[in-house]
Structure 1
Amino acid sequence: MSETKTVENDRSGHPTPEHAAFADAAGGYFTPVAVAFTAVLLISNVCVAKGVQFFTGHHVSLGPITVLPLTMDGAFFLFPIAYVIGDILSEVYGFRATRRIVYYGFGALLLMIICFQVVIKLPGNDNQNSQSFADVLGHTPQLAFAGIAGYFVGQFLNSVTLVLIKEKTKEKHLWARLLGSTVAGEVGDTFVFCSIAATAIGINTWGDYINYTIVGFVWKTLVEMCVLPISYRCIAFLKKREPSYRPRERSAIYE
C-alpha cells in the first residue's frame, strides 16, 4: 500500500514548494548588488574612526545608562544600509552567495587597511598633511580588528538567520525574515564591535559603553524597520527579473 503525500497549496491554489527559492549568483543583478554592499562596507569602516555625540548640552541618566548625550560613531548612518543590502543578498541569492561576498568584503577591507598603513609609513613632503592623513585613515590595530570581527559575526548571523527563517516560511512573511535577521546580526555586530573598539573612539566609562551599545543596536534596527518598504521593492524587483529564481535543495543553499 503506497503512502499518499499531502501537498500544501498557497493562497492562489498552486502547490507550495518544498524548499525556499533563490536565484543563481551569476550575472544578472548580483554583481551590482555585491559591489554596493562592499562599497558601503569600506566607506563605513573609514567613517567609523570618528566618535560623534548628539544633544551634548543635555545630560540624562538611568542608573548606569547614559541616555543623553547620544554617543555614536561616524558610520551610524552607513552600517544599517550594509545590513539592508545584506538582507537583499541573502533573501534573493541565498547564504552561499552572501557568504562569498562576506569573504570578498573581508579581503577588500583588509587590503584597504594594509594600504593605509603602508602609505602612512612612506616619507611625506608635508608633515602637517601627513599627520592629518594618519589621524583620519590610520586605523589602530584595535579599531581595525573590531571592524573586521563585528563585520564577520554580524553578517554571518544576519544571513544564516534570514535563510533559516525562509526555509520555514518560503515566500511568506518577508517582514519577519528581514527584522529577525537584522536583530540577530545587529546584536552580534554591535556587541563585538563596541566591546573591542570602545576605548579607541573615546568611550572610557561603563555608562558611555552601555549607551553606545544600546543606541547602536536600537538605531540600526529602527533604520531597518523604516526602510522595509524600500527593501520590499528592491527584493520584489530582483525576484521578478532574475530568471533563475526558483526553489533549491537545502544542501545547495549552505554548501
Structure 2
Amino acid sequence: MSARFAPVRRGPYDLIVVLFVSFLLLSNIAATKLIEIDVAGATLVFDGGAILFPLTYILGDVISEVYGFKPAKRAILLGMAVSILASLVFYLVQIAPPAADYDNQAAFEAVLGFVPRIVAASVIAYAVGQLINAWVLVKIKERYGEKNLWVRLIGSTLVGTAADTAIFCVVAWAGVMPVATIFNLMIVGYAYKVAVELILLPVTYRVVAIVKQREPNYEEIA
C-alpha cells in the first residue's frame, strides 16, 4: 500500500495568519513592561507591546480586505486561543518547583508570571478590538466597493483600536494605577497605534495588492 499525504493548499492566507498570531503573542509578552519617555517636556507612558502590536491590526486589515469577515474571525479566535494557552503554560511553569540551582524564579514571575487581571484585559481587549476592526472594514467595503481602500483601513483602525486600548487600560489598571496614568496610557497608546497605521499605509496597500494578485479566486468588483 502506497503512503498517502494530504495536499498542501498554496496561498498567502496561512502565512499571514501565522505572522498575525506570532506578533500577537510577542506583543502580549512585551506588554508586561511599561516604558516612559519624555518628549518635548511631556511624559509619555506606554507598554512594550505597543512596539509590535499595531502590526497585528495591519495584518488583520489585510485578512479582512482580501478574505472577508469569517476568515478574519477565524484568525482572531485562533490568536485568542494561543494567547490563553501561552498564559496557562506560563502559569504552570511559574508554579512548578524550580531546580535547586535555578536562581531566577522571582525574575520569571515578575516578567511572565500569570496575572489573571492582565490576561483577562489582554484577551478581552484584543478580541473585541480586532472583531470590531474586521467588521467595520468589511461593512464599509460591502457598501462602497473596492474604491477608497484607505477609508476602510483607517476607519476600521480608528474604531477597533479605540475599543482595544480603552478596554485593556480600564480592565488592567483601574484601581491599581492613578486615573491620570491610565488616561495617559490610553491617549498615548491610541495615538501611537493609529500613527503606525497611517505611516505604514503605503505598505499595507502594497501587501493587499500582492495578496489579491496571488489569490486566483479573488473576484474584484470595480
TM-score, structure 2 normalization: 0.91
Task: Name the residue aligned to 1:145.
Answer: 120
Task: Name the residue aligned to 1:85.
Answer: 59
Question: In structure 2, what is the Cα distance between the partners aligned to 1:160 and 1:57?
Answer: 38
Q: Is the 8 A contact 2:36 2:43 kept in 1?
A: yes
Q: Is the 8 A contact 1:49 1:139 kept in 2?
A: no
Question: In structure 2, what is the Cα distance between the partners aligned to 1:89 and 1:165?
Answer: 15
| Cα shift at 1:145 | 0.4
Task: Name the residue aligned to 1:220.
Answer: 193
| Cα shift at 1:199 | 5.5
> Alignment partner for residue 235 of structure 1, among 204, 208, 216?
208
Matched pairs, number: 212
Task: Name the residue aligned to 1:28.
Answer: 11
Question: In structure 2, what is the Cα distance between the partners aligned to 1:147 and 1:139?
Answer: 12
Matched, 1:207 2:180: yes
Matched, 1:54 2:37: yes
Question: In structure 2, what is the Cα distance between the partners aligned to 1:192 and 1:96?
Answer: 23
Question: In structure 2, what is the Cα distance between the partners aligned to 1:128 and 1:234?
Answer: 46
Question: In structure 2, what is the Cα distance between the partners aligned to 1:176 and 1:56?
Answer: 30
The amino acid across from 2:29 in the alignment is: V
The amino acid across from 1:118 in the alignment is: L
Task: Name the residue aligned to 1:191.
Answer: 166
- What are the Cα deviations for residues 64-87 of structure 1, in whole angstroms up to 9, with x where unaligned? xxxx21010011111111100100
Question: In structure 1, what is the Cα distance between the partners aligned to 2:124 and 2:179?
Answer: 21
Task: Name the residue aligned to 1:39.
Answer: 22
Q: Which has the higher helix share?
A: 2
Identity within the alignment, %: 37
Task: Name the residue aligned to 2:139.
Answer: 164
Q: Is the 8 A contact 2:61 2:137 kept in 1?
A: yes
Q: Cα RMSD between the aligned structures?
A: 1.8
| Cα shift at 1:198 | 2.2
> Alignment partner for residue 100 of structure 1, among 74, 78, 81?
74
SS in 2 for 1:243: coil
Specify every segment of 5 or more residues in structure 1 that has no aligned partner in the other structure, as ranges: 1-25, 59-67, 249-255
When residues 227 and 245 of structure 1 are mapped into structure 2, their CA distance, relative to the original with a 3 A threshold, is: same
| Cα shift at 1:170 | 1.1
Specify every segment of 5 or more residues in structure 2 that has no aligned partner in the other structure, as ranges: 1-8
Q: Is the 8 A contact 2:125 2:168 kept in 1?
A: yes
Question: In structure 1, what is the Cα distance between the partners aligned to 2:28 and 2:208?
Answer: 26
Task: Name the residue aligned to 1:120.
Answer: 94
